Structures are given as C-alpha cells and as structure tokens.
Amino acid sequence: MIDPVRLLLVEDSPGDAELVREYFSEFKSTPLELRQVGTMAEALEALRGPLPDAILLDLNLPDSEGIETLHRLMRLCPDVPAIVITGDLPPNLRQQLLSTGATECIAKASWTYDSLTAAVRFAVKLRRALGLQRQMERLLAVIPDGVMVVDPSGRVRYVNDAAVALFGKRREDFIGEPVDFAIPHGDITSLEIVRAGERVGTEMRAVPVEWGGHAATMITIRDTTESTRLAEQLFQAQKMEAVGLLAGGIAHDFNNLITVILAYGVSIKETMPSVDPRQDDLTQLLAAADRATSLTRQLLAVARRHPVQVQVLQLDALAGGLKQLMQRALPDNTVLHVRTAPEIWPVVADAGHIEQVLLNLLVNARDAMPRGGTVVIEIDNVENTAPAEGFRGGAAVRIRVSDSGAGIPASILPRIFQPFFTTKESGKGTGLGLATCYGIVRQAHGAISVESTVGVGTTFTILIPKAADDETAAAQAPLPAPDRLEGRETVLVVEDDEALRRSMIRSLRRFGYSILAATNGDEAKRVIDGHDGVVDLLLTDLVMPKVGGKELIDSLRRTHPRLKVLCITGSAPHSNGDSPELPDAIEVLYKPFDPVTLMRGVRRVLSAEG
C-alpha cells in the first residue's frame, strides 16, 4: 500500500483554497491528504502533530505577513519543504524567500496545475530524501570512523563527531568550506593529517551518494594509529618470541657447558693442595662460571623460561632495590619518593609480579603528569583491614602509590580495572596495565583500590596479607640438606650431552654410587631391563631427542613403580605448553649446578620416604 502524500495548506482566502483543492483533485498518481488552515496560529497548532510532507504557504495571513511568516514555520519544522504561494512575486522577494528556506515560490497570478503539482512532487521527494538523510546522519554520528559529505564543488555539507575529533577542529570550520585534500575514488587511500601539531596516519575511501536530494560524495576516514601500533606490537611480540626461542636454545647449550665446567673445576679444586698457586686460577674460573650462570638466567628470562615461584618477600627491601630502576623510568621533571615504615611484615608472593605491579603503577602515574610532578610510594603495616573479594582481611602490608597528576573523574573510577578500558588517547594505551595489576594482586590473595580527585591526583592502595608463621617457615625453609652426600645405591644416568653425562657420572662415582648410563630414553629402557640388580634412582634430563624425560619416567614407573626420580633441566616449563609437566612429587634440579648441588639432590631424593 502506498503511503498518502500529506499536504498542509496555509491559506486564508476561501477562493484560492478551493482552487488548490480542484488542482489536487486531479492528482491521480499518488494518494493525497490535504488539510487547510487559515491563520498562522492554526498552522503552528497543526504542526505540533504528525508533520506533513510539504507545506503550501500564503505569506499574507490575518495574524502574520511577509517573510516573517516563512521564518516562523522554518523555525518550527526546518526539514519540511515549504512552497510559498503569494499574490505578488518580484525577483528580489523570490530570492529572499529561497534564501530563507523556501523550496519553491509561485505567484498566484500565474500558477497552473503543472507548476503547482511539479513543485509538490519535488517537495515530497526532497522531504523523503531529507528524512533518509537525517536517519543516515544519526547512524553516521555513532560510528567510530570520521565521515564527511562533500558536494560536487568539493565543499563540505556534513561532518560527524568522529571527523571533528580526528581533525581537531570545530564543526563550523568544515561546513561550507572546501576540503584541503584530494578526494580518492574507489580504492582505499592513505592520508596523513596534522592534529595539534602531530601527524596522524589515516585511511580514506570515497563513495558517491545522494545527499539532500543532490549528488554528493561520502568520505570515510579511519585513524590507523591504533591498528599500526597493534601491528607493530604484534611484530615486536613475534620478534621477541623468536628471540626467546633462540635464547632458550642457547641457554640450554650454555647450561650444559657450564655444568661441565663447574663439575670438573670443583673436582680439581678440591683435590688440589690449598697452597698450590693454581688455586687462584681455579677460583677465577669458577667465578667466571658463576657469571655465565647469571647470563643464562637472563637468556631464560627473555625466553620466559626462567624458573620462578612464590616466596616470602620483604616489600620494603623489594621497593628499595627497585628504586633506581623506577627513577630511570620517570622523566627529569618528576620526583620519586619511596617511604617505608620500620619492621615491615613479610608477605608471600611472586617477586617478579610485585615488581611488575609497581612499575605499571609508576608508568600510569608518569602518564598522568605530562608536565612532571611527584610520585610517592609508601609501604606500611595495617591491622584489622576489612575483607574484600578474594582478600581475607586482617593484618596486611599496605602499598600506596600516589601521584600529583590530573586525576580520574569519579564517573569512570569503577571501570579502570576492566581489561581494555583506558582514558588515554588512541594509540597511547592498551587498557591492560591496571587490569594486570588487579590480577596479580588478586593472585597474591590481596586487594587493590583507587582514590582520585580531579586536578589533585590519584592514589592506588594495595593490601597483601601478612604471611602467617607457618607460611613464612615453609617458604623460607630450604630444601632439607642431607646428612651425607655419599651413597652406595645404583643410579641410571640418562643424558644426551656426552660431556655433561660424563661429568655427572664422574661426580657420582667419586661419591661412591654405582652407575648405569644411557644417551636417550630408548637406550635407558634397554639398560634397565637388562640389569639384574635394583636401580634405585633415575637421573634424567627432561629434554632429549626421541623419547623425552617425561615419557621415559612414565614408561619406567609402569614396570618399576618404586623407582625414584630426579630430573635435570635448563629451563622452567614454557607457557605455550611445549614443555612436559611433571607430577609435583618429582624433584627438578635446574642447570647449571655444581657437583655438591647434584649430590645433595641425589641424596635428598634417595633418602625421602616412599
């Protein structure tokens, strides 16, 4: 069913009104509803209901006359086309009326059916085009890309909020002005714009559209700063992953070599007379091996395979040790103060994670003070804290990180720990820094909160439970040292690196152990199956060609359930899952290690019950 065309006729002359009715009685192409009023007051009242598709307006009414009549209607309903019908229409009046907003002007002395109906058809088409345009404007107003509509002469007819923000200008700076860049056709084009003195990369595309009943070009402009940053971040992550894999491989070989150096170096030093002048040479050699051990740990940290674990921490000592690094992370115009109360309680947490929390909050404070300011880190003990989600309350160590920055509006404070939420400009934050802090603190069974005043600054407060006495004892207690290192048990040594295997065998024999040896998992199975006596301990590398350590352990324990196991490896399991997971009961010894450390591990496992 075709919707009828609704017309409002504002005409006080009964004769003229009747003539219009007669004209439109012959309007057969479209259903038509014509409503006639005789005064401006009646017209304004009629326009408070459903708006017509067009208005036929006589300028001279009993309660209004001249151009003011048109002005009053345009103020009330600017999107409804108005066709002015008047007795006298000199050229200057016609121009004034069109400039005021009239769609068409017709003199009563010369009007005809054709002129009136043609004007109405055009007005109705314009009204519906304007309706579609308004719908499109509402849609374009909420999309994140910048949108501009340009007429055939290159002048801007519409610009959405995103484009205004993208260019850093006012809306009135655009409308009616020519664009200052070449308009692309079809393909996506790169465009670099300057906003507040900074260059911003964008992608631009143009398509032909109809706008307000006329041909136009719609240009969409997308800020590529964030996507470029993410692409660079992905590339950097992939590069770091490749570097990490390389570093892990190098560290694996390094660990084997250093373990061999330590084994033979310690052995020679122990058998050499203390007055031998070469003792100093050996001391230097072993010191170099220790420095090389530190280097492999750094390589493993790059590879994210450095073994870490929860431990008892003194947060005041941790913050003090981190102060120099934190100061370097701040610009010269920012002052850092670290204040700690005496006798800070111990907590149980991951030191690396707590350091990351402090650095994340420091970076957040730095970004809140582009012109510099003060950052204060305070650490003290607090009693009787209130419980919170994931936090038991009671005695806790409190860390407060305060800045003198711009502050955070109260309306967004509840959202700042949400992943990907950020108040920073596009491309200047991922929205993960504070979310990471939240997750780490929760993992430590603590709580984190924030207080902020706009124009004054922000304070983040972290509460981490005081370590219980049993937690402190358990975390601080070293692995039990065996009463002796010697033994008479039989040890099966499985290691694919010949030099490392030989050094371990040499050390074990020196302490009295009987040795079986294999270079890989398959050979180890054959050796143990062909041995007539009891094998007391399997000493195996975790990472080997063909059959790895985990598979070997599982296989041998099916046939030798009482077999004890000590694993050696150069790295902790990687988060990508490419490293085997071992039962908690199996002890792992991380390379590099010296002979005494190896013997302690062997003796500890052999002496354990079960």
Confidence category of residue 257, pLDDT binned at 50, 70, 90: confident
CA distance 186 to 282: 74
The percent of residues in the chain predicted with pLDDT above 90, rounded, is 22
User: Average pLDDT of 170-191?
Assistant: 82
Average pLDDT, stretch 438-443? 78
User: 5-133 with 479-607: one CATH topology?
Assistant: yes
Q: Which of 57-66, 81-90, 165-174, 248-257 has the lowest mean pLDDT?
A: 248-257
Q: Tell me, what's the pLDDT at 309? A: 58
Of 152-156, 326-330, 403-407, which gets the smallest average pLDDT? 326-330
Mean pLDDT of 566-595: 70
Report the run of H or E that residue 515 belongs to, with start and end. strand 514-518
Please tell me the predicted confidence (pLDDT) of residue 547: 82
* Longest pairwise C-alpha distance within the chain: 134
Task: Give me the phi and psi of 600, to 5 degrees please.
Answer: -65, -45
> DSSP state, 260?
H
Residue corresponding to tokens 């136009």: 216
Q: How far apart are CA 326 and CA 313, in angstroms?
A: 19
Q: The domain 311-475: what is its CATH number?
A: 3.30.565.10
Output the pLDDT for position 215: 86
Name the pTM for this structure: 0.43
* pLDDT of residue 544 exceeding 50: yes
* Most confident of the following: 5-9, 173-177, 367-371, 522-526: 522-526
Question: Tell me, what's the pLDDT at 301?
Answer: 45
Q: In sequence order, which ranges of 347-430 are alpha helices (DSSP H)? A: 351-367
Phi, psi of 368 (to 5 degrees): -80, -10
For residue 308, what pLDDT is reported?
46
Confidence of residue 240 (pLDDT cuts 50, 70, 90): very low
For the ranges 52-61, 463-472, 508-517, the lowest mean pLDDT is seen at: 463-472
Dump pLDDT digits (tens) for 273-298: 888 888 888 888 888 887 777 666 54
Residue 576 has pLDDT above 60, yes or no: no
Q: How does residue 373 score in pLDDT terms, banded at 50, 70 and 90?
A: very high
**pLDDT at position 241, please?**
55
Mean pLDDT of the region 562-583? 67
| Domain 479-607, CATH number (from 2.60.40.420, 1.10.10.10, 3.40.50.2300, 3.30.70.2740) | 3.40.50.2300
Evaluate if residue 306 carries a pLDDT over 60. Answer: no
CATH code, 5-133: 3.40.50.2300
* Domain residue ranges in the chain: 5-133, 143-223, 228-302, 311-475, 479-607
Q: What is the 3-state secondary structure (H, E, C) of 112-161?
A: CHHHHHHHHHHHHHHHHHHHHHHHHHHHHHHCCCEEEEECCCCEEEEECH
- 232 vs 553, higher pLDDT: 553
Query: From edge to edge, which strands make up the β-sheet containing 104-107?
Result: 32-37, 5-10, 54-58, 82-86, 104-107
Q: Which two tokens stand for residue 132?
A: 């579609």
The answer to which of 62-66, 216-220, 546-550 has the lowest mean pLDDT is: 546-550
- CB-neighbour burial class of residue 128 (10 A; exposed 0-12, middle 13-18, buried 19+): middle
H or E segment and range at residue 435: helix 433-443
Q: Predicted confidence band at 575 (pLDDT cuts at 50, 70, 90)?
A: very low
DSSP one-letter code for 336: E
Between 564 and 310, the higher pLDDT residue = 564
Q: Per-residue pLDDT averaged across 471-497, rounded?
A: 75
The arithmetic mean of pLDDT across residues 138-153, rounded, is: 83
Of the pLDDT bands very low, low, confident and very high (cuts 50, 70, 90), residue 524 is: very high
Mean of all residue pLDDT scores within the chain: 82
**Higher per-residue confidence, 489 vs 549:** 489
CATH 3.30.450.20 is the classification of domain 143-223: yes
